[in-house]
C-alpha cells in the first residue's frame, strides 16, 4: 500500500482529556439535581466535556448523519432479505426523505449525507455528489473472493479519512454513522468473527429486515467460508478489509480513525459500524474512546463487537432497520445531556 501507514493512527489518536473530565465531574457536583440523579446523562455530559476539551459543555447542534452505501455480491447467496444490487433503492429512498433515518434526521435538523462507495447501479441513476467517491460496482463475494483489490481498499479507506477531515473542518459537533447496504451484515459478521476468534454461528444475525431460518443457514455458511479467507490476513487490517469487508466498510473504518484523530465524536449505529469500529480498534486502541454505541440492534455480532470495545449501548428498543436509525434515536439523549450540563445552575 503506497504511503499509507496505519500505525500512524495509534500515535496520533489521544484519549479525550481526562483532566477536563474530572473538572466536569466536579462542576456537576455543584449543580442540582444531586450527582447520580440524572443517571447516564451525567456520564454522557462528562464524556462530551472531555471530547470538547472544556468542562463547560457546548450544545451539540451541528450534527451530520453520514451513511456509507454499497452492495455486496455475497447477497446473491440469499443471505439478505433485500435483493442483490438493491442498495440503490435504499439510497433513493434516503435521498427522497422517505427512509426511517431520513425522517428522523429531518425532524432533528440533522444533515443527512449519503456516500456511494460500491452501489451496483449505473452512476447516472444517482446524483453526482453521491456517486463521486464510488470505488466499484458491488464488493466481491467474500466467501470465494476478495471484496476489494488492495488498491481499492486503500482508496476507500482514504475516502473515509478525507470525509472525516471535511466534517472536522466544517465544525461538525458530532457524527451519526450508518450504512445503506445489501449483504453488509454478512461482511460485518465475518470481520467480527475473525477479530474475536469465534465460529460463524456465533456472529450470524438475521439482518436489518430479518431473514428466515433457511436464509440464516445460508448466511452462516457464507460467513464460515469467508472466515477461512479472513484468518490468514488478521495481522493486516487493510488487507482484512480488502478480503472480507467491502468499499463501504473500508471507508467507514477510515472515517472512524480520522475522526478520532480530529477529536470528532461519533455515534455508531448497528452491526456494520460496530464491525468497522472493531477493525479500527485493532489499528488504534484508544479510538473507541471517541465513540458512543447508539443502540443494541439485537445482532449477536454487534453485541460481541461492542463488548470488545467496552461500549455500552444507549438504547435498546428492538430497532433493526439500520441506515443510522438507531443512532439517530440516541442523538436526543446526547443533546439532552449536553443541555443539562450547560444550563443547570451551580449551587451557591
Q: List the end-to-end C-alpha distance of the chain, in Å, as a whole number.
A: 59
Q: What are phi and psi of 4, to 5 degrees?
A: -110, 110
Q: What are phi and psi of 304, to 5 degrees?
A: -70, -40
Q: Which residue in the block uniquely carries the three cell numbers 473542518? A: 169
Catalytic residue among 152, 154, 167, 323: 323
The Cα 305–Cα 188 span in angstroms is 10
Q: Which residue in the block uniquely carries the three cell numbers 454513522? A: 177
Cell numbers at 155, concatenated: 482508496
In the annotation, is 323 catalytic? yes
DSSP string covering 123-168, please? GGGS-HHHHTT---SSB--TTTS-SS-HHHHHHHHHHHHHHHHHHH
The Cα 245–Cα 238 span in angstroms is 9
- CA pseudo-torsion sign 11, 338, 307, 216: negative
Q: Which residues are catalytic?
A: 323
Amino acid at each position: 500500500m503506497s504511503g499509507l501507514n496505519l500505525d500512524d493512527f495509534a500515535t496520533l489518536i489521544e484519549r479525550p482529556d481526562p483532566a477536563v473530565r474530572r473538572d466536569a465531574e466536579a462542576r456537576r457536583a455543584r449543580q442540582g439535581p444531586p450527582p447520580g440523579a440524572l443517571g447516564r446523562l451525567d456520564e454522557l455530559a462528562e464524556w462530551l466535556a472531555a471530547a470538547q476539551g472544556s468542562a463547560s459543555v457546548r450544545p451539540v447542534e451541528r450534527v451530520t448523519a453520514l451513511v456509507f452505501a454499497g452492495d455486496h455480491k455475497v447477497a446473491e447467496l440469499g443471505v439478505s432479505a433485500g435483493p442483490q444490487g438493491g442498495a440503490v433503492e435504499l439510497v433513493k429512498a434516503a435521498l427522497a426523505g422517505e427512509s426511517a433515518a431520513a425522517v428522523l434526521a429531518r425532524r432533528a435538523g440533522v444533515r443527512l449525507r449519503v456516500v456511494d462507495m460500491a452501489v451496483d447501479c449505473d452512476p447516472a441513476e444517482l446524483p453526482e455528489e453521491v456517486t463521486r467517491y464510488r470505488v466499484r460496482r458491488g464488493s466481491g463475494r467474500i466467501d470465494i473472493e476478495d471484496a476489494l483489490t488492495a488498491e481499492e481498499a486503500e482508496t476507500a479507506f482514504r475516502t473515509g479519512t478525507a470525509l472525516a477531515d471535511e466534517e472536522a473542518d466544517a465544525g461538525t459537533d458530532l457524527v451519526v454513522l450508518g450504512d445503506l447496504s445489501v449483504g453488509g451484515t454478512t461482511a460485518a459478521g465475518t470481520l467480527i468473527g475473525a477479530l474475536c476468534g469465534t465460529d460463524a454461528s456465533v456472529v450470524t444475525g438475521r439482518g436489518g429486515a430479518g431473514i428466515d431460518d433457511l436464509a440464516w443457514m445460508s448466511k452462516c455458511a457464507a460467513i464460515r467460508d469467508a472466515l477461512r479467507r479472513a484468518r490468514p490476513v488478521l495481522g493486516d487490517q487493510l488487507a482484512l478489509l480488502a478480503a472480507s469487508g467491502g468499499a463501504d466498510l473500508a471507508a467507514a473504518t477510515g472515517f472512524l480513525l480520522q475522526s478520532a484523530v480530529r477529536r470528532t465524536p461519533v455515534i455508531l449505529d448497528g452491526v456494520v459500524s460496530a464491525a468497522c469500529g472493531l477493525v479500527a480498534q485493532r489499528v488504534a486502541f484508544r479510538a473507541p474512546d471517541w465513540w458512543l454505541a447508539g443502540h443494541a440492534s439485537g445482532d449477536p455480532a454487534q453485541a460481541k463487537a461492542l463488548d470488545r470495545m467496552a461500549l455500552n449501548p444507549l438504547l435498546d428498543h428492538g430497532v433493526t432497520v439500520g441506515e443510522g436509525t438507531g443512532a439517530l434515536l440516541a442523538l436526543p439523549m446526547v443533546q439532552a445531556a449536553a443541555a443539562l450540563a450547560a444550563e443547570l445552575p451551580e449551587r451557591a
